[in-house]
Every structure is written in C-alpha cells, then in structure tokens.
Amino acid sequence: MSLLELDGVSASYGHADVLHGVSFVLPDNGATGLLGANGAGKTTTLRAISGMVRTTGRIVFDGRDITGLGPDRTAALGIAHVPEGRGTLGQLSVRENLLVGAYRRRDRKQIAVDVDYCLDLFPNLRERVGSNAAALSGGEQQMLAVARAFMAKPRVMLLDEASLGLAPSTARRVYDAVVRLRREAQVAMVVVEQNANLAFSVVDDATVLETGRVALQGSSAELLGMDAVRRAYLGG
C-alpha cells in the first residue's frame, strides 16, 4: 500500500519551471531515493511534498490530497523535512533542539524516551547534549537535524543531502544511524543524495531526475546493474 504518491507533479519558482510531471510512489515503511545532478530538481521535489513551492499535479499522502497544503499542515500530518543545510537552532542546546522537534506532541514520558533513543542513535550528541547547536561540528549538526526530525514522530522523513560537506567517515556514521532509524522506528523515507553509495544503503528503489524530469526509475538492484547509473553516480 502506498503512503505517499506523486502523480505528474510540476513545480516552479516564479516564472521558472523546475519540475515537469514527476511521478513516484513511496510504500508504507518504504524508502525511495532521488538521484540526479545539481539542478535536476531533487530538492524542489522535497519542497513540493512539504508544500513549500507552487505545484500542479497531485501529491497524495495516506489517501489524502495534500497538494499545496503548506509546510505547517504537512508537518502536522506526519511529514518531517530535514533540509539541505541542516537548519538547527544555533542558540539552543542539543536537548532543546530535540524538544523543539517534539513541540506538537503531548506524550511527555514518551518524549523523554525518544530523546534518550536519539542520544543512543548518535553518541556524539549525548556527549554534547548541553552544548549550543552552533558549537557543534558540521557532522554533529547533521546528526541533530535528523534526530530532531525523528522527535516529531513522522510517518515520512524527507532527507535532503544528509552527507553534504561531511567527511566520508562522518557521512557513513550518519547513514548508519538512518538505516537503523528506518529499521527500528519504521519511518518511511525519501532520500535525496549525491552519494549514491550512501543512498543505496538505505533505499529500496530510486528515481533519477534530469532537468526536472524522470529519466529512470527502478529498484536499487536494477539501477545498480545499469552501467550508465554506475558511471554517473558510483564512479564505476
């Protein structure tokens, strides 16, 4: 059963059309990737799902048409967006950032349990739990951004370039935690990632975008078996 479906979605910024009829399906508890070069429309696709850009076509979440619903309302329905650039609240501590992620929730005991889960998921954050987010390394800020999104208890997490600017070992730690989060918390995911090796460690299938259009779609195994995909995204 599909949890999220994009059907012929186009999007624009002012008079500039960026997406042209993008369609894909995300199953309940599934994970799908969006691959493509810079400017292919990957980030805009996530923004369309979150209601941050003007769109046409249909975006359906859990049986409900959410096209153009707006960020606040899509977040309230259970869609958490981890944007490129992380977006942590620099003057708040790690713990306070996590609690901000849970601001819509009223289950205080479970919130405390989930904070501890996040600190277990990212041991670096446990060591810095009282530090302001602005004092964290880039990798720690990315860990915090993912953890804060999880604190909202979303049905779907939208991850935008979680490895951007990180050392390979740090990016691997972030994605190891994302894999664990998907497995243990059963959060569905849409993963935008330049590093296809990292993306394919998480996702079941992927859509390749070129200049705002769908160029390829398939399972991870199918795409990994294509020479053109390996050359373009895996350096093989």
List pLDDT tens digits, range 127-141. Answer: 999 999 999 999 999
Domains in the chain (CATH in brackets) are: 2-84+148-233 (3.40.50.300)
Q: Give the CA count within 13 Å in the CB-facing half-sphere of 77.
A: 21
Return the DSSP state at 92: S
- CA 96/CA 89 separation, integer angstroms: 9
Q: What is the pLDDT of residues 38-94, one digit of tens each?
A: 889 999 999 999 999 999 999 999 999 999 899 999 999 999 999 887 678 878 999
pTM of the predicted structure, to 2 decimals: 0.93
Residue 107 has pLDDT above 70, yes or no: yes
Which position has the token pair 């992380």?
86
Nearest 5°: phi and psi at 67?
A: -55, 120
Give helix then strand counts, H and E, for the chain: 10, 10
Cα four-point dihedral sign 91, 97, 103, 108: negative
- Which pLDDT band holds residue 14 (cuts at 50, 70, 90)? confident
> Are the C-beta atoms of residues 172 and 198 closer than 8 Å to each other?
yes
- Give Rg (Cα) of the chain: 17
CA 194 from chain centre, in angstroms, equals 13
Residue positions counted in the chain: 236
Q: Give the integer Cα–Cα distance in Å for 75 and 152.
A: 9
What angle (nearest 5°) sits at the alpha carbon of residue 101, between those of residues 185 and 177?
40
